[in-house]
Amino acid sequence: KHWVYAFKAGQADGDASMKALLGGKGANLAEMSSLNLPVPAGFTITTEACVHYYQNNSELPAGLVDEVETNLAHLEKTTAKGFGDVANPLLVSVRSGARASMPGMMDTVLNLGLNDATVEGLTALTGDSRFALDCYRRFITMYSNVVLGVNHHSFEDILDDHKDRLGVTIDTDITAKDWERIIADYKAMVKSELGRDFPQDPKDQLWGAIRAVFGSWMNDRAKFYRKMHDIPEDWGTAVNIQSMVFGNMGNTSATGVAFTRNPSTGDSDLYGEFLLNAQGEDVVAGIRTPQALTKKAREDMGERSLSMEESLPEVFAQFKTTVDTLENHYRDVQDVEFTVEQGKLYMLQTRNAKRTSKAALKIAVDMAKEGLITPQEALMRIDPGTLDQLLHPMLDPKADKTVIAKGLPASPGAASGKIVFTAEDAVRYAAAGEDVILVRDETSPEDIKGMYAAKAIVTARGGMTSHAAVVARGMGRPCVSGAGEMQIYAERGEFASRGQTYRHGEIITLDGSTGEIMKGAIRMIEPDFSEDFHQIMAWADDYKRLDIRANAETPADARTALGFGAKGIGLCRTEHMFFDEDRITAVREMILADDEAGRRKALAKIEPMQRKDFTELFQIMDGLPVTIRLLDPPLHEFLPHTEEDIAHVAETSGIGADKLYKRTKELSETNPMLGWRGCRLGITFPEIYESQLNALFNAAVDVLEGGGDPHPEIMHPLVATQEEMAKLSALTHDVAKIVFAARGKTLAYKVGTMIELPRAALMANRLAETAEFFSFGTNDLTQTTFGISRDDSGRFLNPYIEKGIFEKDPFVSLDQDGVGALIEMAVAKGKATRPDIKLGLCGEHGGDPASIAFCHKVGLAYVSCSPYRVPVARLAAAQAAI
């Protein structure tokens, strides 16, 4: 077994399929080398070596040292340089690279191999002492920080003092002589902090860096990032050691990052940034503001400094061909890093680009239309969960707004919130339920928790590929970066822009699609769907087998659902119709009635209102099924609870406070979710269901008479026994018969039940004798299968997830093993009795992609979810079928 895999242009031990072993970066460096692209030679230490390191008390695996030595010797040969050779030094970069990309979370060291002697060699070799010293000071800073743990502020302080002394503001104005003095101060500071000299032996430097990269797999931000993205702890990182090429060798040298298409909008133009005479970290860190790659992009942005296309036209042409080759080869948008050393191009990295959900849609659709991928592949390229981002509100273009600053449109979407200046504040305020906007000079990977907690992020510095921009896009947070007109005084808790000052806690709004930052909260509007969205949805409908319905009871929700492509209503919770101002009094009167006659009197007031509600739903969902569930919750939910409420209701309703109080007490249950609710109400007070049935059958006939096509499905909640089902089914048919006879019209309808109790699943064959459909109510079925309250289990669910007892919250993603087993059993038993039984699911899980895949697998006919999840569900259902 090898611990090390080598690569050089035209030849590699590994390839792109070996991401698990070589990490994403290592595998793609190998692949690019095999494609004969200009990749600096190097080698990759495997993730297995890192795993070994962690399993064995930070010991390196036997054989690793030898393999690294051998590969280093080969690298010396390939490059015709010597590691530590004073006359002709080989310098290397040492970079992390896990299986999944974790941008900026782990460590990197550049320019390794420099010391007091080789820096002289580099000077002699290049004839440029300023360049050599610039590399050396970068190396000392980076190595001391990453490997030796010296705070980088200590270096910045020294540099700032010298700049003040010299009266210069930018690094490139510092002369070689002055860099020498600064480097001497750096080394002295390191020595005084660590009590030993900065390491001069390149081999010591190399092993220090390798161990540091291994170590960075377990740093706090890497751990947090993995948790957020479900990346397993035991993967480990690979280490890539590659001969250095220099973007800081004068004005024919450069470094940059690029995307083969725009990762924010999806536009197919090459997109990226570069800096002349700089090293890679300068671009990513956002310290200098980078320039555009193409002439067009420069002109679009109205910038003056020349693009790469203009300033280095030949290299640019070669670069363009290279990235086109990569995109065609990988059949996906590539995110590349490159360096130009004195007019020669080198590719340092390629990977499939992270992108916004809007861009993901556009890119998938464009690539399918270009014939690069199939429509099925296009569908598989989109994470259904991220569609949500597109369905959310954006700024109302007609709203008044006062723009207080403008930056780059780094991640789309709009958000309002209170200004905070630190990641800690963002976390704290968000935990207290406040919406906050994190405002920073620039973000670093340390800020990741704060970025996650914030509604959106603003930075004063950095480009579209700065840390803030990349991470925000990945998280789906709106972000404006590089808002250079803002002066941020984080310690004082304020920022200034355009002559005004804004303080911690003040509300601002930002629009990550335009780069604008505005005062106060701005009105938002519903999003406007792109052609691409409709194309993806149309393809999804071609491939999915499951129908998607919506859980809706108001006309507004029903219309939204229809607009999102719902094929009917899978759950209309009729109790939601009982709370409206105009009917809650009658509902209370019904509950407080002493006898059936009293209840009927009150129900007679509610019935016409329900009839009207149902009529509207049938009209909106014309020709589509509408599943109406009869009253489900315990009656006490409709009664006032606090003494104050009781007094208020007594006064407004004319019902005596004493009676109200007494009845509330009578109806109160310790565990109402397992109490007198669901069909138990319909069995004990049949007049309630009778009235609802009357309303809904009359509504259906009304719609029919109006030329419509209503398809009612009547659903009984919380059924456990076949006797309940038989009674409720008979009641339903009786009312239908009476209404149809009275109106002289009939229409088709279905009667069915929810499966929400384990016993219902166990006895599904018996229930199916009278039930024509089942709809799995997985909210209650999860609660009753686990014996965990859906309302207040939050207190121990998180610890359960942290301890790995639950992988995910079972109320969010279906427990396919346990609850799933009950569903599979009920499906089989239901079909055994009634082969054409209609099967669906209407719990919250109906909008969760993993649960939808399960529903597809067990052969349900539909899932029903909240209106905004309908597109997510359509796509997830297609992915399940592909």
Dist. CA 823–CA 785, nearest whole Å? 11
Structure tokens given for 126: 């290049």
Which amino acid is residue 53, in one-letter code?
Answer: Y
Q: Which is nearer to ligand PEP, 221 or 573 (CB)?
A: 573
Q: Which is nearer to ligand PEP, 467 or 573 (CB)?
A: 573
Q: Does 777 bind ligand PEP (CB under 6 A)?
A: yes
Structure tokens given for 59: 């010991």
Q: Shortest gap between Cβ of 482 and ligand PEP (angstroms)? A: 46
State whether the Cα torsion 221-222-228-232 is positive or negative.
Answer: negative
Q: Does 710 bind ligand PEP (CB under 6 A)?
A: no
- Contacting residue, 550, 571, 639, 873, with ligand PEP by CB under 6 A: 571
Q: What is the CA radius of gyration of the chain?
A: 33
Q: What residue 104 binds from Mg ion, ligand PEP, none (CB within 5 to 8 A, per partner kind)?
A: none
Annotated catalytic residue within 467, 504, 716, 856: 467
271-276 vs 254-259, strand pairing mode: antiparallel
Q: Does 619 bind ligand PEP (CB under 6 A)?
A: no
Tokens 């019902």 correspond to 655
Q: Shortest gap between Cβ of 851 and ligand PEP (angstroms)? A: 12
Q: How many residues bind ligand PEP (CB under 6 A)?
A: 10
Q: Which is nearer to ligand PEP, 576 or 766 (CB)?
A: 576
Q: Binders of ligand PEP among 736-765, rule CB under 6 A?
A: 756
Q: Binders of ligand PEP among 826-855, rule CB under 6 A?
A: 842-843
Q: Which is nearer to Mg ion, 612 or 790 (CB)?
A: 790
- Contacting residue, 778, 793, 866, 879, with ligand PEP by CB under 6 A: 778
* Side-by-side strand order, sheet with 414-420: 403-406, 516-519, 507-511, 414-420, 436-440, 456-459, 479-481, 408-411
Q: Shortest gap between Cβ of 751 and ligand PEP (angstroms)? A: 17
Q: Shortest gap between Cβ of 841 and ligand PEP (angstroms)? A: 8
**Residue of 509, 505, 448, 515 lying closest to 479 (CA atoms):** 515
547-551 vs 569-573, strand pairing mode: parallel
Q: What residue 441 binds from Mg ion, ligand PEP, none (CB within 5 to 8 A, per partner kind)?
A: none
Q: What residue 511 binds from ligand PEP, Mg ion, none (CB within 5 to 8 A, per partner kind)?
A: none
Structure tokens given for 625: 């099924």
Dist. CA 209–CA 203, nearest whole Å? 10
Is 780 annotated for ligand binding? yes
> Where are the strands (E) in 251-323, listed by range?
254-259, 271-276, 291-292
Asked if 25 and 33 touch (Cβ cutoff 8 Å), the reply is no
**Residue of 174, 447, 123 lying closest to 158 (CA atoms):** 174
**What's the Cα-to-Cα distance from 875 to each of 274, 540, 597, 621, rounded to whole Å?**
37, 5, 51, 22
Q: What residue 309 binds from ligand PEP, Mg ion, none (CB within 5 to 8 A, per partner kind)?
A: none
Dist. CA 496–CA 516, nearest whole Å? 15
Q: Does 779 bind ligand PEP (CB under 6 A)?
A: yes
Q: Shortest gap between Cβ of 494 and ligand PEP (angstroms)? A: 47
Annotated catalytic residue within 50, 479, 679, 842: 842
Tokens 């309908």 correspond to 870
Q: Shortest gap between Cβ of 221 and Mg ion (angstroms)? A: 41
Dist. CA 371–CA 854, nearest whole Å? 31
Q: Does 627 bind ligand PEP (CB under 6 A)?
A: no
Q: Shortest gap between Cβ of 679 and ligand PEP (angstroms)? A: 12
Dist. CA 366–CA 350, nearest whole Å? 21
Tokens 């030329």 correspond to 707
Largest CA distance in the chain: 105
Q: Does 632 bind ligand PEP (CB under 6 A)?
A: yes
Interface segment toward ligand PEP; rule CB under 6 A; list 463-471, 612-620, 776-784, 797-805: 776-784
DSSP notation for 239-273? EEEEE---S-SSTT-EEEEEESS-TTT--SS-EEE
Q: Which is nearer to ligand PEP, 130 or 573 (CB)?
A: 573
Which amino acid is residue 68, in one-letter code?
Answer: V
Dist. CA 642–CA 190, nearest whole Å? 66
Q: Does 785 bind ligand PEP (CB under 6 A)?
A: no
**What's the Cα-to-Cα distance from 609 to each of 314, 556, 584, 598, 676, rounded to whole Å?**
75, 17, 11, 18, 25
Interface segment toward ligand PEP; rule CB under 6 A; list 493-501, 619-627, 775-783, 811-819: 775-783
Q: What residue 702 binds from ligand PEP, Mg ion, none (CB within 5 to 8 A, per partner kind)?
A: none
Q: Which residue number places its CB atom closest to Mg ion?
A: 780
Q: What residue 286 binds from Mg ion, ligand PEP, none (CB within 5 to 8 A, per partner kind)?
A: none
Residues 6+ apart with CB under 8 A from 662: none
**What's the Cα-to-Cα distance from 19 to each of 232, 579, 750, rounded to whole Å?**
14, 56, 53
Q: Does 552 bind ligand PEP (CB under 6 A)?
A: no
Q: Which is nearer to ligand PEP, 291 or 784 (CB)?
A: 784
- What torsion, rounded to 10 degrees, do the Cα atoms 250, 251, 257, 261 define? -160
**What's the Cα-to-Cα distance from 712 to each of 28, 312, 324, 452, 700, rounded to whole Å?**
56, 69, 55, 44, 7
Q: Does 713 bind ligand PEP (CB under 6 A)?
A: no
Q: What residue 849 binds from ligand PEP, Mg ion, none (CB within 5 to 8 A, per partner kind)?
A: none
Dist. CA 866–CA 868, nearest whole Å? 6
Q: Which is nearer to Mg ion, 469 or 679 (CB)?
A: 679
Q: Which is nearer to ligand PEP, 182 or 781 (CB)?
A: 781
Q: Which is nearer to ligand PEP, 247 or 678 (CB)?
A: 678
Q: What residue 134 binds from ligand PEP, Mg ion, none (CB within 5 to 8 A, per partner kind)?
A: none
Positions touching Mg ion (CB under 5 A) are 756, 777, 780
Q: Does 37 bind ligand PEP (CB under 6 A)?
A: no
Q: What residue 571 binds from Mg ion, ligand PEP, none (CB within 5 to 8 A, per partner kind)?
A: ligand PEP
Is 446 annotated for ligand binding? no
Asked if 345 and 322 touch (Cβ cutoff 8 Å), the reply is yes
Dist. CA 354–CA 346, nearest whole Å? 22
Is 779 annotated for ligand binding? yes
Interaction pattern, residues 240-279, with ligand PEP; x per rule: CB under 6 A = ----------------------------------------
| 467 a catalytic residue | yes
Which amino acid is residue 406, in one-letter code?
Answer: K
Q: Binders of ligand PEP among 122-161, rule CB under 6 A?
A: none
Is 385 annotated for ligand binding? no
Interface segment toward ligand PEP; rule CB under 6 A; list 43-51, 259-267, 655-663, 772-780: 772-780
539 CB neighbour count, 10 Å cutoff: 21
Q: What residue 325 binds from ligand PEP, Mg ion, none (CB within 5 to 8 A, per partner kind)?
A: none
Q: Which helix (H) or strand (E) holds 286?
A: none
Tokens 């239901």 correspond to 830
Question: CB-side exposure of 620: number of CA atoms within 13 Å?
Answer: 24
- Count of residues in the chain: 882
Q: Does 425 bind ligand PEP (CB under 6 A)?
A: no
Interface segment toward ligand PEP; rule CB under 6 A; list 168-176, 295-303, 590-598, 778-786: 778-786
**DSSP code of 39?**
-
Interface segment toward ligand PEP; rule CB under 6 A; list 180-188, 215-223, 253-261, 777-785: 777-785
Q: Which is nearer to Mg ion, 107 or 780 (CB)?
A: 780
Q: Which is nearer to ligand PEP, 571 or 593 (CB)?
A: 571
Q: Give the catalytic positions in this structure.
A: 467, 842
Binding site, annotated residues for Mg(2+) = 756, 780
Q: Which residues bind ligand PEP (CB under 6 A)?
A: 571, 573, 632, 756, 777-780, 842-843
Binding site, annotated residues = 573, 629, 756, 777-780
